[in-house]
Amino acid sequence: MPDSRNWFHTIPEHLVRRFPECLKLDAIRLEIKGEKLVNFASNDYLGLAFHPKVRRAARIHIDRQGLGSGASRLISGDAPELHELEAKLADWKGYEAALVVGSGYLANTGLIDALTDRHSALFCDRLNHASLVDGARLSRGRVYRYAHGNMEQLADLLQKHRNKRKLIVSDGVFSMEGDCATVCELVRLAEEFDALVLIDDAHGTGVLGPSGRGLLAEQSLAGHPRILEVGTLGKALGSYGAFILSSKEMIEGLKQRLRTLIYSTALPPCVAAGATSAIFLVQNGDFLGKLHANIQYFVQETERLDLPFGHTRTAIQSLVLGKEKAALAAAALLRKAGFFVPAIRPPTVPEGTSRLRITLSAIHEREHINTLLNVLRKEL
């Protein structure tokens, strides 16, 4: 009889996922099992998680409000820090209203469930983030998936399935590819077929657009009445948690219906205060300039290498190597040379597209990038 010791099938030793303890030495260096490594695997794209002003903001608010929020926002967890952050987010990102929730995973799963019922149809890019995939699984609506970025296929599906409520769901910047959705086309199709568009721009916020406002602001679509935007506080904003942006009416409606808001403990106020301070820094510092200088340099240098890099304009640069073993071997090689870049493999990415996912940050120095590229040049 199976019990807790043999419930799961055994995974081959070399494919077992490890969760090594990562000690942060500073904003860019980690210590893992005694090895000191330069981190090229963080989504802290602007280096704000370690910024003294962000840390100080969080510390001050711990002293004011304590550590945990103690309850869901609906009950007694709705701290002023959350309201301040929501006002700041709506203003910065260009929407009427914002709603802060516990994490991106909670935002996406809760949102898709709240927006759909059994009469709805969902249209999802095949490379959407797992949290959007899981939201679609939870939904009682019908789910139709289109090949990554294939707008013709999406148009065909919208043409065919004339459900009353339709929701198009896509990453803004795709989390593993680092490429961008054609959001103008998504919105055009939404207008033609009377749908809503949910864009998860976890990796565009603090990276793309004027003052880091994200992909939709870059494409002059922020605040569009057909759009709901999701973003996270845990990536370029260096904190934790997530937010949903839309019209006042939509956000009010979500407060009544979003189960992952109502039935989950509120984000700690100190975490929200840290994020508010990070937005202020993004708006007023030169973090974006430094990040984009690093991205441009990295792309320019990798274009000269004969390696299958994605060459994107975002902080995510992937090197697709194919087999899991190839990606694991490349990761081990970089680790030996002092870099932390773990292999990304199925089911996070499709079978046969195992890769190194290199993420760049404003605080990487030229020397870090040059040494990393030298290792790849010589050894792959």
Cα separation, 297 vs 291, whole angstroms: 10
The reply to whether 175 belongs to the active site is yes
- Eight-class DSSP state of 277: H
Which of 215, 232, 225, 302 lies closest to 271 in space, CA to CA? 232
169 forms beta bridges with: 124, 198
Q: How far is the CB of 178 from ligand PLP (least distance, A)?
A: 11
Residue closer to ligand PLP (CB basis): 65 or 205: 205
Q: How far is CA 363 from CA 42, 277, 303, 359, 360, in A?
A: 11, 18, 22, 11, 8
Q: Please tell me the distance from the alpha carbon of residue 199 to that of residue 144, in angstroms, as a whole number.
A: 16
Residue 291: φ, ψ to 5°: -60, -45
Interface with ligand PLP by CB under 6 A: which range of 47-55, 57-65, 196-204, 337-345? 196-204
> Quick check: 318 binds ligand PLP (CB under 6 A)?
no
Q: Which residues are paired to 228 by β-bridges? A: 198
CB of 374 to ligand PLP, least distance (A): 29
Contact pick of 39, 65, 69, 103 for ligand PLP (by CB under 6 A): 103
Q: Among 65, 139, 170, 175, indicate the residue that binds ligand PLP (CB under 6 A).
A: 175
Tell me if 269 contacts ligand PLP by CB under 6 A.
no
Of the pair 69, 131, the CB lying nearest ligand PLP is at: 131
| Nearer residue to ligand PLP within complex by CB, 141 or 178 | 178
Rounded least distance, CB 213 to ligand PLP, Å: 17
- The DSSP symbol for 10 reads P
Q: What is the enclosing helix (H) or strand (E) of 139? A: none
x/- mask, ligand PLP, residues 221-250, rule CB under 6 A, reads -----------x-x-------x--------
User: What is the rounded distance in angstroms from the CA atom of residue 258 to the CA atom of residue 114?
Assistant: 6
Least distance to ligand PLP, CB of residue 102, Å: 8
Which of 174, 169, 163 lies closest to 121, judged by CA? 163
Our separate counts of H helices and E strands in the chain read: 13, 14
The yes or no reply on residue 177 touching ligand PLP (CB under 6 A) is: no
Length of the chain, in residues: 380
Q: Is 312 in the site for ligand PLP (CB under 6 A)?
A: no
Contact 357, 176 (CB under 8 A): yes
Residue nearest to ligand PLP as judged by C-beta position: 104
Of the candidate residues 48, 100, 112, 202, the single one contacting ligand PLP (CB under 6 A): 202
Stretch that binds ligand PLP, among 25-33, 80-88, 98-106, 269-277 (CB under 6 A): 98-106
Both structure tokens of 341: 């870049």
Output phi, psi for 97, to 5 deg: -150, 155
Q: Is 109 in the site for ligand PLP (CB under 6 A)?
A: no
- With binding defined as CB under 6 A, does residue 294 bind ligand PLP? no
Q: How many CB atoms lie within 10 A of CB 368?
A: 20
* Candidate ranges 3-11, 195-203, 329-337, 366-374; the one touching ligand PLP (CB under 6 A): 195-203
203 is catalytic: yes
44 binds ligand PLP (CB under 6 A): no
Would you state the structure tokens that stand for residue 271, as one six-digit string? 């975490």
CB of 157 to ligand PLP, least distance (A): 22
Which positions lie near ligand PLP, rule CB under 6 A? 103-105, 108, 129, 131, 171, 175, 200, 202-203, 232, 234, 242
Residues noted as catalytic: 175, 203, 235
